[in-house]
Amino acid sequence: MRSAPVTNLRLYPWYAILYETFFWVPVFFLFFNEHLGLEQVLLLESIYFISVVALEIPSGYFSDTLGRRVTMILASTALVASYFLFFIAETFPIFVAAQVLLALGVAFNSGTTSSFLYDTLVDLDRSQEYGPMEASIGHRAFLAGAAGALLGGAVGMADERYAYGLSLLASIPMLLIAISLTEPASTKRRRPGSRDIMRQLRQCRQLLRQPVLRWLMVYAIIMVMLNHVPWEFFQPYLKALGGTLGLPSDTTPLATGIYTAITMLIAAWCAKRSIRIRDRIGLAGTLFLALLIQVVLIGLMSAVLSTIVAVAVLARSAPRALMTAPMNAAMAPRVPTEIRASWFSLMSLGGRLAFAGWLVVLASVATEHGEASWADIQVMLQWSLLAAAIGAGVLVVFLPKEVLEVGESSGPNEP
């Protein structure tokens, strides 16, 4: 009777690992900038985030009403199509189509994967293991991402599109795994009217009355935005730094691949210990530590073009690794099954919408229309630092005391 959830628990980690392995293409900015001007690159990135935003709510509703498995199948199919288009892309419209499909794959995975894991554990009466298991899977996924980044950077030296070829090869078994999964029994519990998308949204809005969930939602939105800033600009930052050191530009793909691999290894170390860190310094302490690291890194990048700063920015994925498992473990038991994916999707939507808008702002302050210059990068990072400081101030001022009291087992039990 429990063979299906046991099989899910065995297969799902591989899905998550393959998703991370080649998703973070280490040469995407360089690849785009080779075919498009800086303004078009930023516009292309903005199109991606706006597309994710447009798809987030439908994806959560789709997952909560039609099932986790079919949502993951659709997400995997979109990723296969996206990476194929990137592999053959030459013109802006093809890049746009690939970005939209990538956004679809990301949006339909967002919220669904975490909910699938939690619901599977509920089927096995092991929901208390969710936090540590999320941390463990995150640890392995980051390790896989390190290997993928290294390979992507290496093949990118010959042709940057080959990195997307590797992503295509990884997405195909993802699709096969999704097809092999079984829908968790717990997700079949539906309240009357749960197919009404407005009802889903109203229920999520009602959850915002809880101080813990409300603050965590705002925190997640701010951090999704901030976590993307170093990721978006580290490639042109390294290229500009390489120019000052006299390094040939054709070594940049390998350099960014190695750099991303080390970044993922650091993140893997943090993800594995994130629950232990939470147990030691509390949920609020862990989340503010992640925030502090990201604000400092953005500040360093905006201040100077330096090898020392480039080394420091190796920690740019550590905040995401530190925050994910503790934050999700605090949220999941507080959100009913029938709207859990919608809740996580709304959280992701807010952060991506904020960053999409921020990219539009940054595109307006860019002065160059060819390759990104250090002067342009620095100005955009300085603006991002200001946004980070404002976001941090908001979180500190409005921190509810309930968040300070959140522990590993707090929150209502899963019905």
- 412 in any annotated domain: no
Distance, CA of 320 to CA of 322 (rounded, Å): 5
The stretches in the chain having pLDDT less than 70 are: 1-2, 22-26, 188-196, 243, 245-252, 366-372, 406-415
Residues 6+ apart with CB under 8 A from 23: 145, 148, 167
Task: State the total domains in the chain.
Answer: 1
Give the pLDDT confidence of 62-86 residue by residue, as tens digits: 888 888 999 999 999 999 999 999 9
- Write down the pLDDT at residue 93: 92
Between the CA of residue 274 and those of 316, 317, 322, 376, 411, what are the distances in Å?
Answer: 15, 13, 5, 35, 19
- 411 in any annotated domain: no
Amino acid, single-letter form, for residue 264: M
Q: Is 361 exposed, middle or buried (0-12, 13-18, 19+ CB in 10 A)?
A: middle
Full-prediction pTM beyond 0.85? no
Element spanning 305, H or E: none
Which of 127, 99, 125 is closest to 114 using CA atoms?
127
- Write down the pLDDT at residue 366: 66
- 84 in any annotated domain: yes
- Write down the pLDDT at residue 149: 81
Distance, CA of 274 to CA of 280 (rounded, Å): 10
Helices and strands counted in the chain (H then E): 16, 0
Between the CA of residue 265 and those of 241, 278, 287, 296, 318, what are the distances in Å?
Answer: 22, 20, 20, 20, 9
Q: Give the sign of the dihedral formed by CA 322, CA 325, CA 330, CA 331.
A: positive
Residues 6+ apart with CB under 8 A from 69: 116, 178, 181, 182, 183
Contact 403, 214 (CB under 8 A): no
Q: Domain range spanning residue 67?
A: 3-182+195-404
Give the pLDDT confidence of 233-255 residue by residue, as tens digits: 887 787 788 767 665 555 667 77
DSSP state for residue 125 in the 8-state scheme: T
- Write down the pLDDT at residue 353: 80
Distance, CA of 321 to CA of 27 (rounded, Å): 21
- Write down the pLDDT at residue 95: 92
- Write down the pLDDT at residue 66: 84
- 410 in any annotated domain: no
Pair of tokens at residue 314:
């190796």
DSSP state for residue 89 in the 8-state scheme: -
- 189 in any annotated domain: no
- Any idea what the CATH number is for the domain that residue 130 is in? 1.20.1250.20
CB atoms within 10 A of CB 242: 17
- 207 in any annotated domain: yes
- 252 in any annotated domain: yes
- 414 in any annotated domain: no
